[in-house]
Structure 1
Amino acid sequence: MRTTNRRGWLAACATGLLLASTAVVAPPALAATGVTVVYSEGSHWGSGYSGQFTINNSGATALSDWNIAITLPSGVSISSLWNAQMARSGATYTLTPPAWGASVPAGGSYSIGFNGVGGSSGATQPTGCTVNGDPCDGTPGTPDSEAPSKPGGLTSSNVTSSGATLSWTAATDNVGVTGYEIINAEGNVVRNVVGTTTSATVGGLTPDTSYAFRVRAYDAAGNKSEASSEISVRTLAGTTNPPDPSAGDRRVGYFTQWGIYDRGYLVNNMDDSGTAEKLTHINYAFANISPNGECFIVNQAGQGDAWADYGRSFTAAQSVNGQADSWDQDLRGNFNQLRQLKEKHPDLRVNISIGGWSWSKNFSDAVLTPQSRERLVDSCIDLYLRGNLPVFDGAGGPGSGAGVFDGIDLDWEWPASAGYEENVFRPEDKQNFTAVVKLFREKLDALGAENGREYELSSFMPADPEKVGVGYEVPQIMEDFDFITLQGYDYVGAWQNSTNHQSNITAVADNPDENIYSSEIALDAWTSRGADPADIVLGVPFYGRGWTGVAPGPNGDGLFQTASGPAPGPYEAGIEDFKNLKNLSGYTLHRDAGTAWLYNGTTWWQFDDAVSMTEKVDWARAEGLGGVMIWSLDGDDSNGTLITAIDTALGS
C-alpha cells in the first residue's frame, strides 16, 4: 500500500509536544527526587483488566534510570505490559526501562500500560509502590493514607446512541487529587480520568439502553474517595451493530492520519463531500508497532503523531458536529472527529489499520513467538478497541478512546517477502501470520462477547502472485478474516524508468515489462489458492503515477516509453491526486484496460477518472467480489466525484 512518509518536522513537533505535556498534575509537595508514580485502572473484562503507571518527573534533570516496585493482591497478576521490562518474584513486580531506553524528561512524564488477570474492580490495587526506593506518592516517611473527599454534582450531557459526557464538581485532598474513576452500576471502572479534569465522555455504549454511573477521586498514593451519588443515563436509539454489507457492496476507504497536514483533508471533509454516507467502512492509517512488538501511539523517539490522533483541537468550522473542541476535553483530534462521524452515520464502521509500508518493519519480530503474538494482540486491542490511550497534552487516558474503532485491519507489507528497505522478513512469517490472525480473531470474539457486539478483522493483501505464494496460508487465514482488501494499484511506479499502467484491470498487449501485473492476475493469485471472491474487496487508487521526459513513441501516446524520471508531484515525486490531475490542461486523454492516462508530449500520467472507476467496479461485480477499497480518500475532489462513481456503479 502506498504511504507518504511522515515529514521530519512532524516527528519533531510530536516530540516537543510529548515532552511538554504533563500527563498528571503532580501533588504540590514532592520528595527531594521530584518523582511520583500514579497508578490508574482502566476497564475490566471477564477475568482481565487494564492498568497504567505514569511516572511524573518535576525535577530539573531527566530521569534516565528508574525502578518501580509494586505488590499485587493475592490472585492478581500482570499478563503483559508495554513501555517497560518486568521482573517478578512472587506477588512483587519490578518495572525497569525497556531495552531501547525510556528517559523521563524534566517536567515531563512517561506511561507504562499493562493487562492484568484476576481480581475484580477495586480489588486489584497494588500496594507498597516505590520508585527508586522512595514512596511512589513522593512523600517522605510514612505514605499518605488520607482519601480525597467525595465528588459531587454529577450530571450528564451530549447523550448520543453510543456515549454520554459526565461532569462533576472537584474533590479535595490533603496532598492532591490525581484522577477520577467513573464506575458503572456493577462497580466496574468504565473510564479513568487522569489529572484534575472534572468531565469525561463514556463511549462504546449500546443504543437505547439505560446506564447508571458514579464517580470517585483518587490521589497519588492510591487512596480512593467514596463514590458520588448515582446518575442514570439512557442512550439514544441507533444501530447496535451496523449491518454486514451484502456481498459486493462493501465500500472501504482509507483515511490517512497525515492527510490533515499538507493535503488539509479533515474528517469533516468526508461528511461535507457526501463521502461518508457512501462508505460502509473507514480504515484509519496507521497504527504503529514498536521494536518490542506492541502497538503504540508515540514512542520515546518521537515517532508517531498523538497530536493528530487525539490531541489537536478543531474549530467549529472544522468539526463534524459544528462544535469547537475545548482545551480540557479528554479526546480531541481525528479520533474524536471519527466518533462524531459515526454518530451522524450510525451504520459506518471505523477500523484501525496496523502497519503500512514503513511501519511493517517490526511485524516479523512481533509475531515470532506465541508470547510476542499475545503481547501484540493484547496491546493493539487495549489501545484502540478498549480505548486506553496514553495521556498526551491533556488528552487521552484509560478508556478515553472507547467506541471510536470497530475492528482491526492488518497491513503487513509483506510476510516472508521484501517490502520497505528496513523491513525484516523471515520464511516462517507465513505460518506466524496465520497464528497471529487466529489469535486476533479469538481475542476480538472474546471482546465482542463482553460488549455484546461484533468486531471485524480484515487485511490489506498484495497483488504479486509470488508474494501470495510465499507469505500466506490462504485457506487457513480466510477462515478468520471478515474480508481482505486486494491491492489493485502500484503495479508500477517511479522506481521504474519507463511509463506503464499502475492499475489496469487486464494485461495490456505488447507490454515490455517482464513483471506484468493486472487486477485479473492479482485476483487469480488468491482465488486459485482457495479464497472466495465474495470475501475479497478490490483496491482502487484515488491518485495517479507519472513520468517526465517521455517521448511520444510509435503510437504518439507515450505508453511504454523510456522516461528521464518521475513527474514532479506536490507531496512525492511521481505521485499526484485525482483532484489535481483532472484539472490539467494541454494533455490528451487516452484509455485502455480499465484505466486512463494523460500525455502532453513530455509528461505522462496514468490515473483513474469517473469512467475508468466505473469500469473497475463493473469488473469487480462481474467477478463476484465483495466490494471496493479506496487508497486514499484525500485524493478525491471536494464534490466526491470518484466515490460517487463507485457508489453509482455498486448501486445505492
Structure 2
Amino acid sequence: MRFRHRAAAGFATLLLPLAGLVGLAAGPAQAASTATATYAKTQDWGTGFEGKWTVQNTGSTTISSWTVEWDFPSGTSVTSAWDADVTNSGTHWTAKNKSYNGTLAPGASVSFGFNGSGSGSPSNCKLNGGSCDGGTTVPGDNPPSAPGTPTASSITDTSVKLGWSAATDDKGVKNYDVLRDGKTVATVTATSYTDTGLTAGTDYSYTVQARDTADQTGPASGAVAVHTTGGTTTPPTTGDKVKLGYFTEWGIYGRNYNVKNLVTSGSAAKITHINYAFGNVTGGKCAIGDSYADYDKAFTADQSVNGVADTWDQPLRGNFNQLRELKAKYPHLKVLWSFGGWTWSGGFADAAKDPAGFAQSCYDLVHDPRWADVFDGIDIDWEYPNACGLSCDTSGAAAFKNVMAALRAKFGSSALVTAAVTADGSSGGKIEAADYAGAASYVNWYNVMTYDFFGAWDAQGPTAPHSPLTSYSGIPKAGFTTADAIAKYKAIGVPAKKLLVGIGFYGRGWTGVTQDAPGGTATGPAAGTYEQGIEDYKVLKTSCPATGTIAGTAYAHCGSNWWSYDTPATIGTKMAWAKNQGLGGAFFWEFSGDTSNGELVSALSNGLS
C-alpha cells in the first residue's frame, strides 16, 4: 500500500505501574499509599532506549526526598541520566533525587530520565523502601506469582463462574483481584468467583492477580474470553463474504480517528474483519509499532467505545483496549494484527532467513496475555517478496511461501493467517516474483492491493485512474488493473474464494492539468491534506466532485487539478464484479478516509450482501 507512511507520534510513552518487588533489603517499609513510581520507555532505537520514571506523592503529607530502586536483566543498563543521581550494584539500580527536586507536596509529581542500552524492562521496583504501586511491603518479601489463567463455566445471560489455580508467595497469598475488561470487579479469598449483572449476548475478558499478606500485587494471569448467552441484538447479515477494513494506529493523532468512530459512523455493524496496522518487523521478529497508541494512550469517556474513561492503573489502554471494547459491542467482529506495510517491509528479509523463529516471535507478541483476547489472527503485509518496494528484497521466490507456512504451523488451523499482496498483473511483474500459489494453501485469504496503479510519483502524468477495474484505451501500463491481477492469481492456482478485491478510500491526483479525460499531462502532484498527490474521499467528494468514469473508477477535473477515486457508485460496480468472479470478498484502506456516516463502507457492504 504505497502511501502507508508513518505519522510522527511524538514520544510514545508506555506507562507501566510496577508492583513493589523487593529483591534486596532496604530501609524500613513505608506506610501504604504514600507515593507511587511508574516507568515509561519514551523512545526505542533497537540497540538502546530512553526511559523515564515518574514519582508522585499520593499521600497527605509532604515528601522531603525519594529513592527509586529497580533491577534490570543482564545486558540492560543505564548509560546516562538526568534529574537524578543513578548508581548500580550489578544489575540492581538506584536513583536518588537531586537537591532541587526531592520535595514533593501532596499530589505533586516529578520525573527523571535516562538513556539505556539493551532491551530489558525494570522489575523489583521499590520507592523509599516500599512498593512502587503505593502499597506496603516488607524488605525481603517478594510479591506473589501470577495465578493460572481463569476457566469459565455456568455461563448465563447475566453471569459467569470463574475458577483459577492458586498463585504462590513466600509469605502467603492473602486474596485475589478479579478484573473484567481490565478493571477490578471483586477481591476474593477463594480461587473462584461468580460475576453477575452482565449483559446478555456480550463479550467480556477476565484476568486475575494475587495479593500477598503485605498487600503486594503480583502479575496478572492470562485472559479468558467469555460471551454471555441470549441477547436481543441480532448480528448483522453479512453473508459469506469477507468485508474487511484497515484501522491505522497513527490515525488517532492528526486525523483524530479513534476506534469509537467505527461505532458512530455505523461501519462496525457492516464489516466482518479489521486489520490493525501496523506491527513492526525488525531483526527477523514481529515487534510493537507504536506502544503509546497500541496499549498505553488513555482515552477519555467521550473517546471510548464504552463511554468510560481509561484510568492510569488499568492493565490495558490504548487502541488495543478500544478494540476489545468494540468486540464486546459487536461480537461478530474479528481483528487481525497486520505486520509490515510499505515502511517496515524491509524487515522481512531477516524474517525469511529463519521463518520458524519469526513465526514464534509473532505468535508470542500476538498472544501476549495483556491483549491475547483482542486478536483473532495475523496479517502479513510484505511489499514485496523477491521484488522492489521502498527497498528491494532478494530473499528468493520461495521465501514468502516459507514464511506463510511457518506462521500457519505456529498459529494453528483455527487462527486467521492472511497476507496483503501485490496487484501487479503485468508480464514479468511482481506476482511472478514469488510463490503466491504455493503460499495460498497456508492462508485464509489474500488482500490483493488493487489500487495505487498510477499516481503523481509520475509527476508529468499521464493522468490515469489509480484503481482501474479493467483496462481501457490509452492505459499507461498493460496489466495494471484489478481484472488483470485477479485473473493472474486464478491462473496460477489461487482459489477465487481466497482473493479479496481492494478499494482505496482516497484519491490520487495531479495539478497543472488542462485535459478533462484521462491521459493528460501535468506539472506535479495536487495538494493534499497529509501528503502531496493524495486526499481522502471525504474531502474530494465536495472539493472536487467526480466529472466522469473510466474503467470502473471515477475521476474529477476541477480547476487545474485532476483526481481519480472510488465513489459509492463505482464501489457498487466493483462489488458486483467481485461476486461474479466468485471472490471471497473485499477490503479497503482505510477507515478514516470515509465520511462520518460511513457511506463507502455502506456501499461495499451492500454490494457484497
TM-score, normalised to structure 1, is 0.67
The letter of the residue matching 2:365 is L
Cα deviations across residues 41-97 of structure 1 (Å, max 9, x unaligned)?
Answer: xxxxxxxxxxx99979997578999879xxxxxxxxxxxxxxxxxxxxxxxxxxxxx
2:388 is equivalent to residue 418 of structure 1:
yes
Q: CA deviation at 1:592?
A: 1.9
Cα deviations across residues 427-477 of structure 1 (Å, max 9, x unaligned)?
Answer: 52x2122112111111111xx7xxxxx210110010113444443323321
**For residues 30 and 458 of structure 1, what CA distance do their matches in structure 2 show?**
51
Q: CA deviation at 1:402?
A: 2.0
**For residues 565 and 420 of structure 2, what CA distance do their matches in structure 1 show?**
21
Query: Per the alignment, do residues 57 and 650 of structure 1 end up closer, same or farther by CA in structure 2, a change over 3 Å counting?
Result: same
**For residues 411 and 300 of structure 2, what CA distance do their matches in structure 1 show?**
35
Secondary structure of 2:371 counterpart: coil
What is the aligned-residue identity percentage?
34
Structure 2 partner of 1:182 = 147
Secondary structure of 1:500 counterpart: coil
Structure 2 partner of 1:639 = 597
**For residues 464 and 205 of structure 2, what CA distance do their matches in structure 1 show?**
59
Cα deviations across residues 263-301 of structure 1 (Å, max 9, x unaligned)?
Answer: 1111010011110111110000000012x211222xxxx
Structure 2 partner of 1:551 = 514
The letter of the residue matching 1:250 is V
1:437-448 equivalences under 5 Å are 437-445=404-412
**For residues 510 and 209 of structure 1, what CA distance do their matches in structure 2 show?**
53
Q: 1:581 aligns with which of 527, 540, 543?
A: 540
1:241-256 equivalences under 5 Å are 247=240, 249-256=241-248
2:557 is equivalent to residue 599 of structure 1:
yes
2:514 is equivalent to residue 532 of structure 1:
no
Query: Per the alignment, do residues 490 and 31 of structure 1 end up closer, same or farther by CA in structure 2, a change over 3 Å counting?
Result: farther
Q: Give aligned pairs, total.
A: 498
Query: Per the alignment, do residues 260 and 615 of structure 1 end up closer, same or farther by CA in structure 2, a change over 3 Å counting?
Result: same
1:308-387 equivalences under 5 Å are 308-368=293-353, 372-384=354-366, 386-387=367-368
Structure 1 partner of 2:287 = 296
**For residues 206 and 596 of structure 2, what CA distance do their matches in structure 1 show?**
43
| C-alpha RMSD of matched pairs (Å) | 4.4
**For residues 507 and 564 of structure 2, what CA distance do their matches in structure 1 show?**
5
Q: CA deviation at 1:329?
A: 0.7
**For residues 470 and 226 of structure 2, what CA distance do their matches in structure 1 show?**
54
Q: 1:275 aligns with which of 267, 276, 280?
A: 267
Structure 2 partner of 1:568 = 527
The letter of the residue matching 2:531 is E
TM-score, normalised to structure 2, is 0.72
Secondary structure of 1:479 counterpart: helix
Gaps of 5+ in 1: 40-51, 69-103, 114-130, 149-167, 191-196, 298-303, 388-398, 449-453
Q: 2:257 aligns with which of 257, 265, 271?
A: 265
**For residues 251 and 472 of structure 2, what CA distance do their matches in structure 1 show?**
33
Query: Per the alignment, do residues 605 and 171 of structure 1 end up closer, same or farther by CA in structure 2, a change over 3 Å counting?
Result: same
**For residues 459 and 546 of structure 1, what CA distance do their matches in structure 2 show?**
28
Larger RCO: Structure 1 or Structure 2 (Cα < 8 Å, ≥ 6 residues apart)?
1
Instruction: Judge conservation of contact 2:238–2:605 (CA < 8 Å) in 1.
Output: no
Instruction: Judge conservation of contact 1:267–1:320 (CA < 8 Å) in 2.
Output: yes
Secondary structure of 1:401 counterpart: coil
The letter of the residue matching 1:274 is G
Structure 2 partner of 1:45 = none
Query: Per the alignment, do residues 605 and 236 of structure 1 end up closer, same or farther by CA in structure 2, a change over 3 Å counting?
Result: same
The letter of the residue matching 1:296 is A
Secondary structure of 1:282 counterpart: strand
1:394-543 equivalences under 5 Å are 399-420=369-390, 423-428=391-396, 430-445=397-412, 454-465=414-425, 466-496=428-458, 497-498=460-461, 499-511=463-475, 513-543=476-506
Instruction: Judge conservation of contact 1:177–1:217 (CA < 8 Å) in 2.
Output: no
Structure 2 partner of 1:37 = 71
Instruction: Judge conservation of contact 1:182–1:214 (CA < 8 Å) in 2.
Output: yes
Gaps of 5+ in 2: 28-66, 93-111, 151-162, 169-175, 183-194, 196-200
The letter of the residue matching 1:508 is Y
**For residues 616 and 274 of structure 1, what CA distance do their matches in structure 2 show?**
22
**For residues 437 and 237 of structure 2, what CA distance do their matches in structure 1 show?**
22
Structure 1 partner of 2:572 = 614
Cα deviations across residues 115-151 of structure 1 (Å, max 9, x unaligned)?
Answer: xxxxxxxxxxxxxxxx9xxxx9699xxxx9xxx9xxx
The letter of the residue matching 2:398 is Q
1:1-400 equivalences under 5 Å are 1-8=1-8, 10=9, 12-14=10-12, 17=13, 27=22, 36-37=70-71, 60=84, 106=114, 112=120, 172-175=137-140, 181-183=146-148, 184=150, 187=165, 200-201=179-180, 215-217=209-211, 236-237=228-229, 247=240, 249-290=241-282, 292-297=283-288, 304-368=289-353, 372-384=354-366, 386-387=367-368, 399-400=369-370
The letter of the residue matching 2:494 is A
Instruction: Judge conservation of contact 2:244–2:272 (CA < 8 Å) in 1.
Output: yes
The letter of the residue matching 1:5 is H
The letter of the residue matching 1:341 is L
Q: CA deviation at 1:650?
A: 1.4
**For residues 236 and 474 of structure 2, what CA distance do their matches in structure 1 show?**
45
Q: CA deviation at 1:541?
A: 0.7
**For residues 502 and 226 of structure 1, what CA distance do their matches in structure 2 show?**
50
The letter of the residue matching 1:477 is A
Query: Per the alignment, do residues 37 and 470 of structure 1 end up closer, same or farther by CA in structure 2, a change over 3 Å counting?
Result: farther
